[in-house]
Amino acid sequence: MDKAAKSANKEAEQIIDWGKAHGIETCFDRAEKIKPCPIGASGACCKVCHMGPCRLVGKNAEEEARGVCGATLPTVAARNFLRMIAAGTAAHSDHARGMAFTLLAVATGQAKDFKITDVRKLYRVAGYLNIEFEGREVNAVAKDVAEKLIEDFGRQRGEINYLKRAPKKTQERWRKWGIIPRGIDREVCETMHRTHIGVDHDPDHLLTQGLRTALADGWAGSMISTDVTDILFGTPQPVKAEASFGIFKKDEVNLVVHGHEPLLAETIVDVVSEPEMTAYAKSKGAKGINLAGMCCTANEVLMRHGIPTAGGFTNQELGIMTGLIDALTVDVQCIMPAIADLSKKFHTKVITTSEKAKIQGAMHIEFDEHRAKEIAREIIKIAIDNFQNRKAYGEHITEKFPVIAGFSHEYIEYMQGGKWRASFRPLNDAIIAGRIRGVVGLAGCDNPRVPSTGLHRFLATELIKHDVLIVSTGCGAAACGTAGYLTPEMALENAGPGLREVCEAIGIPPILHLGACVDNSRILTIASAMAEEGGLSDEIGGMPAVGIAPEWMSEKAIAIGCYFAASGVPVIFGGESPVEASKEVTRILTEVWFERFKGALHFEPDPEKILEMALDYIDKAREALKLKKYEPGKFGAERVLMDMAARREIERAAKPHIGIY
């Protein structure tokens, strides 16, 4: 990896250089100009009241430094960390709230532009919620499901609905340590209360509430969002698409959807190919309309429709600098406000669409699910009208890579045995036999403070070389996509012998794109299914599995890391630790959490060490489970993996085809 480069993505680097030559500043330049304050970055600065900010620094700061109120360094570092968890949980969960209310509006006939696309998934979710669905009208079931899910946000007492989707033993650990979330809003609210001046000062007690809040994200907010999105727009199954800046077309209107919430993007997908839209584009001199995505909205429509992606977080300004984007819609989360000013140097129209988020200098067209199509058409027309204003100014890129995305929990189950024998048995068996050494969730943002996407690329190639299967989400998945890593060929060229065999037998890439950052919930349910299948750990903790977020930057990433740790997955984040200043808080996140939950949260800036730690965790878990010692190319006995032909054979012999999973 070229450490001097701003991005590991050659095409991104080319645009950054072009920007430099044209005096255009991006996040990469600003990251160089603004160095993080070391006191704040390490968690030692408290500004929760106006007697501060208090900087708890100096020799023996851990024992001796005090804020004006007397707060110690561990208290301050833990409080700061907790507030990140609360913000991350709030972000995912507020997104989920919108999805759940949309499902209710669809079920009650108030959002006529949407429908229940995946009835099978609706029934599956109804089953989790103990809602009767046999013989009932679909919308009646959907209404009950939506109302039940909405309860999770405002519940004051009791337990979140999806608790029972976790393995029993995992639940027992949560119960023992008092971290079962009651309701999403209650946990976020209590975390904000406890971190107000003069409330909770015990770092362990604070961080325990942090885990409860994070679980409300993973097992409620994020999981609700994933499920409702599947119900409304379809559960993903593998789909071919393309990634990187070459997806923009010179002779077509380029409309890009960016942000997180899929409602507007899905509606645009729905209406963009209407004959009137195409005719209107042609009347303005374009050959057609090219819909593309960025960041996690891109992941949502890539997973379900094969809409091409221009990549993750750090690509948003660079996309505008191609000069080819006619309109860019943004809603919530991970949108750089810089794009509004930047767009003025080009012809791009930046359109904010959420009632929750505006950017000065951007156009605002508020999305309303009750008239979704009308708004989508209005936005498409703005992009078309703007096509004529395109100038030659910008760094046009032609490079793009094929991508296979769309690996949902349900599809992964299906691909291991077809509709009638769907299970996680082959995956567990491949791990038991040492063909697959372990599983890594490679997730999180991309970051201009490191050669952006470079850590994802390094870890992806090294891990699969060591026979580690990767499941990827968010901008980590986008980083792999724009590197050309999301194809089955990648396995042939780079994977270790065992993983390669598995990928060839099933016909999958060694890196499975599972969706947006809210879809990390899919990893939780996959891990639960593996525990239930047997032969490995009977809880999520203790699996040969690790989470890695090498380039994280958002508070959502912290919430995700914590819900994985609480669920039993050791997690390694890249970059400097936000609790570095306190040895005690670091000890709680690593040693104490591992003892209690078999999960942990580490921060490690060196990618080589991240790799080493991940493999070490995997090997130690294999040893504890008494699995065959991993040796490349040497496998134990296992059941024969089922290939596509065998799967079809079973299906033919069974009932008529009624859907993919």
Interface with ligand MSK (CB under 6 A)? 260, 295-296, 312-313, 333-334, 444-445, 474-475, 516-517, 554, 556-557
Measured from the CB of residue 53, what is the shortest distance to ligand SF4 in angstroms? 6
> Taking the complex as a whole, how short is the minimal distance between the CB of residue 499 and ligand MSK, in angstroms?
25
Q: What is the three-class DSSP state of 474?
A: helix
Judged by CB under 6 A, the chain residues 507 through 526 that form the site for ligand SF4 are none
Asked whether position 197 contacts ligand SF4 by CB under 6 A, the answer is yes
Residue 568 contacts residue 598 (beta carbons within 8 Å): yes
Determine the interface stretch with ligand SF4 among 14-22, 52-60, 127-135, 337-345 (rule: CB under 6 A): 52-60
- Please identify, using beta-carbon distances, which residue of 26 and 72 lies nearer to ligand MSK: 26
Asked if 46 touches ligand SF4 (CB under 6 A), the answer is yes
Pairing of strands 545-549, 253-259: unpaired
**Unique residue bearing structure tokens 């047997």:** 534
Single out the residue of 468, 495, 454 nearest to residue 606, CA to CA.
454
Helix (H) or strand (E) holding 54: strand 54-55
Q: Which of 31, 49, 163, 365 touches ligand SF4 by CB under 6 A?
A: 49
What are the residues whose beta carbons fall under 8 Å from the beta carbon of 625, sequence distance 6 or more? Answer: 536, 537, 542, 544
- Shortest Å, Cβ 612 to ligand MSK: 24
Site residue total, ligand SF4 (CB under 6 A): 14
Q: In this complex, which beta carbon is closest to ligand MSK, that of residue 424 or of residue 552?
A: 552
189 binds ligand SF4 (CB under 6 A): no
Per-position x/- string for 62-91, each x denoting binding to ligand SF4 as judged by CB under 6 A, each - no binding: -----xxx-x----x---------------
Toward ligand MSK, which CB reaches closer, 474 or 575?
474
- Compare residues 447 and 461 and give the one whose CB is closer to ligand MSK: 447
Instruction: For residue 654, state whether it binds ligand SF4 (rule: CB under 6 A).
Output: no
For residue 53, say if its preceding peptide bond is cis, omega within 30 degrees of 0. yes
Tokens of 604: 């490690």
The residue within the footprint of ligand SF4, chosen from 8, 12, 44, 54 (CB under 6 A), is 54
Alpha carbon 312 to its chain's center: 11
Query: What residues have CB less than 8 Å from 167, skipping those under 6 apart?
Result: 528, 531, 532, 538, 539, 540
* Binding at 403: pick from ligand SF4, ligand MSK, none (beta carbon under 5-8 Å per type): none
Which one, 76 or 103, has the nearer CB to ligand SF4? 76
Structure tokens of 67?
């804020």
List C-alpha distances in Å: 570 to 117, 356, 362, 613: 36, 34, 41, 10
Of the chain, the end-to-end C-alpha distance in Å amounts to 40
d(CA 636, CA 630): 10
Cα four-point dihedral sign 543, 545, 549, 554: negative
In whole angstroms, how close is the CB of 190 to ligand SF4 at the nearest point? Answer: 18
Contacting residues for 594 by C-beta, under 8 A, at least 6 apart:
570, 600
Question: Which two tokens mark 451?
Answer: 């050669």
For ligand SF4, the binding residue among 47, 358, 396, 587 (CB under 6 A) is 47
Residue 61 Cβ, how far from ligand SF4 at the closest point, in Å? Answer: 13
The β-bridge relationship of strands 253-259 and 327-330 is parallel
Q: Single out the residue of 40, 52, 288, 337 in contact with ligand SF4 (rule: CB under 6 A).
A: 52
Query: What does 334 interact with, of ligand MSK, ligand SF4, none (CB < 5 to 8 A by kind)?
Result: ligand MSK
